[in-house]
Amino acid sequence: MHIAMVSEHASPLAALGNVDAGGQNLHVAELSAALCRKGHEVTVYTRHGDPSQPARRTAPAGYEVVHVPAGPAEPVPRDELLPYMDEFGDWLHHAWSRSVPDIVHGHFWMSGLACLRGATDLGIPVTQTFHALGVVKRRHQGTADTSPARRVKLERILGTRVDRVLATCSDEVFELARMGTPHTTMSVVPCGVDLSRFTADDTGATTGAPGVPPRRQRHRIVAVGRLVPRKGFDIAIAALRDLPTTELVIAGGPRPDELADDEETSRLLRIARGHGVADRVHITGQIRRDHMPALLRSADVVACTPWYEPFGIVPLEAMASGVPVIVTAVGGLTDTVVDGVTGTLVPAQAPNALAEAASELLADPELRRAYGSAGRKRAASRYSWNRIAADTQRNYHRVLAESDEPNERVAAL
Ligand code: UDP
């Protein structure tokens, strides 16, 4: 099957951890690679935001990345890309008119718009993974949300126009249903984890491995993600007040040499000083992919305390690494983490609950081992990329089987 993936801002080739590069980039890269392993031909279309990149490039995993000339050939923040989506969609339409893919898969709402425009009148079925929903972001971020004002409305329409929505968690299904996406056109297909990269193997777990800061306290909590307020790193920092023998390593954000100028890093360090725990907080900056497994394995506990989380790959990576997790009971985290089995669920924005859960786990190495081992089993049995690719493929086949009757809803918005 020839599959066209569209991921307007999130290139599968990008380094992860920066403000606009995280789970979606990884998802598109790993899913495309896994579909190639199944014998499919995959082309990923992403915007040309880096003039040093060639127009086309074949990734080592076998999929082709096409840099679509829409908007300026320089980085543009994700929330400012909407004006270029018509141009993106028209470019796709031209490309797909000459070489028709069997199926199109949009990632994030703006890609979905470009896909509908690109597929108009060509009879190509369109599937969509939102990765995040504007209505949820607006609920939690209020006026701090920099998404285009029309996002919520356009997402609502998109959900009713595409042939199938692949939601990454059950919570997203409820949100989409409330937005009017028909239940009959939705399936849950979560993100996966690279089980050969993230292993419970102890070798290399020592602190001091490349990219892993040396341990200075008896216990270590690791938190990983893009350095944005909604990831709730401040909650983990506040919890340290009640965890006197514990250090917190926060990984993510700009490159280490750019941290000094990063606003969010300064904010987090100010909070740490305010709580009197700054000497136990270490912000590393962006961590290379190949250093991430050792960093996670250097933790006694991995904490993910976002305000909300559409999926959340980091806890899955920790579970695959045999490390217990404490996560807020939001979004995709309530699907992946089984409370009292692979980790502990705590309420959002509650440093005391996090501190209490961490105290219990840090005091009990047996419990940590049990959670870690159950986490590895759960990640291995349900979240391999091969399984996620098989689920995705099943949905493609279903859409193709249904598409004998052309979907007249597929048209540019
Ligand atoms: N990540 C990384 N280096 C960093 C920070 C993050 O490789 O410095 C990876 C992390 O391991 C995970 C992804 O980026 O695979 C973040 O995905 P997640 O779903 O947790 O968050 P999102 O970015 O989608 O909000």
pLDDT in tens, 101-135: 999 999 999 999 999 999 999 999 999 999 999 99
Q: Which atom of ligand 1 is nearest to the CA of 289?
A: 7
Query: What is the 254 CA–ligand 1 centroid distance (Å)?
Result: 12
Ligand 1 atom nearest to CA at 287? 8
pLDDT tens digit sequence for 45-90: 999 998 888 999 999 999 999 999 999 999 999 999 999 999 999 9
Ligand 1 environment, Cβ below 6 A: 16-17, 22-24, 26, 224-226, 251-252, 286-287, 289, 292, 311-314, 317
Ligand 1 centroid–CA 392 distance in Å is: 21
- Amino acid identity of residue 146, one-letter, is T
Assess contact for 131 and 27: CB atoms under 8 A: yes
Ligand 1 atom nearest the C-alpha of 286 is: 8
Q: What structural domains does the chain harbor?
A: 2-192+384-411 (3.40.50.2000), 202-382 (3.40.50.2000)
The yes-or-no verdict on residue 373 having pLDDT over 50 is: yes
Determine the pLDDT at residue 202: 64
Testing ligand 1's pocket by substitution, the residue of 283, 284, 313 carrying the most ligand atoms inside 8 A of its CB is 313
How far CA 52 is from CA of 19, 46, 148, 172, 260, in Å, comes to 20, 14, 28, 37, 26
Q: How many residues does the chain have?
A: 413
Looking at the CA of residue 306, tell me the nearest atom of ligand 1. 25
Instruction: State the chain's mean pLDDT as an integer.
Output: 95
Q: Mutation test of ligand 1: which of 194, 292, 330 has the most ligand atoms closer than 8 Å to its C-beta?
A: 292
Confidence of residue 211 (pLDDT cuts 50, 70, 90): confident
Burial class (CB in 10 A: 0-12, 13-18, 19+), 276: exposed
- Per-residue pLDDT, 374: 98
Backbone φ and ψ of 397, nearest 5°: -60, -40
Query: What is the CA(46)–ligand 1 centre distance, in A?
Result: 19
Closest CA to 321 of 294, 345, 284: 294
